[in-house]
Chain A
């Protein structure tokens, strides 16, 4: 996105703006200042970004519903950062002031106001009015959403990673972000600080692929892959392709300019399936694509020593929803792409840095999916419903020895591990 000239950022298009609802409001009602011809005098008391105070300038009768929740929405609170910082930082009170200083220098620039989605480019990409001050109900994707979410989501969705196609929803249907991430999701639902979401993956999965692709739920169509894998794999496991991972981001303040800066050690393309580190009722998948986030144990050492004492409390390979969805992918081309020893697409221990091994124990795949045919999977006897209480992945304890008259598993299952069983032997309904 090319930067705008200073004049271009503040040029109002009277023809387009004045007939709109916002064009009926006197400039000084929102922006303060003094209606005088001299620039300096006119800008006395100027409020460049009124929506920094959303309830005062945007709420009331007009957008009261949105401004009631937005101060507690993730784009406003950036709580996702603090959830990770507090967890890896051990939530040590004496470290908080320096972490807050670090956050203010490097992270807070991602805080988003109403105006940074609806009327102007976000400040952290230089600002500047979208369309001569016309307020856009739907934020322009590349000047708003992917202006911030560009290096990973934006590049993946728009197909800017060399040799990797863009998301089918963009390539084929020209869908923009808002088609899936609706206003209610972005404006939030919390009405006070206590109900602010911990991060973007907290609570209900929204949006879900099956919101539109209703037939893709297990039992919803004839696709045997959906039948077999629908409750074990997130949709992206089969339908996303190579995406970006990063390593070793360190932040500091320049001794020469006094400006905050960052430095990442590496950026590279990966497609790796790992165990779901945040498995829950809302996200029940056993396996998901995992992306390496650029956190490092000494990421904030400029600000102090050992600011992340519980670094291993969270994985560095994290639950991911790559935005480069394809109908056909290398891994869904055949059963053998995953089953039968293809370790290259799984996050196995050899792909994890030794110093990050403990952090990623919940994500590393220990047993690769065994060789299996689709017929075997579809015809496998169901697991009795009363085994629900046994689903602690201890199947082989009984089924290799016949304990409690358990049917013995066949010889060709010898290589199977406990965690493989429920892949084919679905729980009896």
Chain B
């Protein structure tokens, strides 16, 4: 039994050490990086559809100018302070 226990402990220790060394320094957040921003950006990348036709148009100022239905000038027949 003691040998078995020792073997199990060695295997666990090996896994733990492997986990520690697998993270390169480049993966570690630096003092100038905001982890929240980074994780949000990643989430956007994964959540945003490859091609979102709604956004394609609604983020394109010129396309909106070209396609927006003109609104008639607001003429009110009201008089006085509302």
Contacts and interface: CB of A to CB of B under 8 A. Distances in A.
Contact of A262 (B54, B71, B82): B82
Contacts of A3: 74
Interface string A120-159: 0000001000000000000000000000000100000000
A262 B80 contact: yes
B70 interface: yes
A410 interface: no
Nearest to A132: B59
B27 interface: no
Interface residues of B, number: 33
Nearest to A256: B77
A36 interface: yes
Contacts of B56: 37
B52 A26 contact: yes
A49 B16 CA distance: 52
Given A10-B68, A11-B61, A263 B78 contact: yes
A33 B55 CA distance: 13
Contact of A19 (B41, B70, B71, B80): B41
A12 B74 CA distance: 24
B44 A19 contact: yes
Interface in B23-71: 37, 40-41, 43-44, 47-49, 52-59, 61, 64-65, 67-71
A81 interface: no
Contacts, number: 88
Given A19-B37, A261-B77, A263-B80, A39 B57 contact: yes
A58 interface: no
Interface in A4-46: 5-7, 10-14, 18-19, 23-24, 26-28, 31, 33, 35-37, 39, 42
A26 to B, nearest CB: 7
A14 B59 contact: yes
Contact of A7 (B55, B65, B75, B82): B65
B76 interface: yes
A257 B58 CA distance: 33
B35 to A, nearest CB: 14
Chain A: number of interface residues, binned into ranges: 35 or more
A7 B64 contact: yes
A400 to B, nearest CB: 48
Interface in A225-264: 244, 246, 249, 254, 256-257, 259, 261-264
Nearest to B69: A6
Given A3-B74, A24-B43, A264-B79, A12 B65 contact: no
Contact of B76 (A5, A14, A39, A261): A261
A265 B64 contact: no
B59 A11 contact: yes
A267 interface: yes
B74 A14 contact: no
Contacts of A37: 53, 56-57
A26 B67 contact: no
B32 to A, nearest CB: 18
Contact of B78 (A23, A26, A126, A261): A261
Contacts of A11: 58-59, 61, 64
Contacts of A246: 80-81
Nearest to B70: A6
B80 A264 contact: yes
A419 to B, nearest CB: 34
Given A261-B76, A264-B80, A42 B53 contact: yes
Nearest to B58: A12
Given A7-B64, A7-B68, A263-B79, A14 B47 contact: no
Contacts of A264: 79-82
Contacts of B44: 18-19, 23-24
A23 B48 CA distance: 9
A27 B80 contact: no
Contacts of B57: 37, 39, 42
A301 B59 CA distance: 48
A266 B59 CA distance: 45
A24 B76 CA distance: 40
A28 B49 CA distance: 12
Given A18-B44, A35-B54, A10 B64 contact: yes
Contact of B54 (A27, A244, A256, A261): A27
Interface of B: 37, 40-41, 43-44, 47-49, 52-59, 61, 64-65, 67-71, 74-82
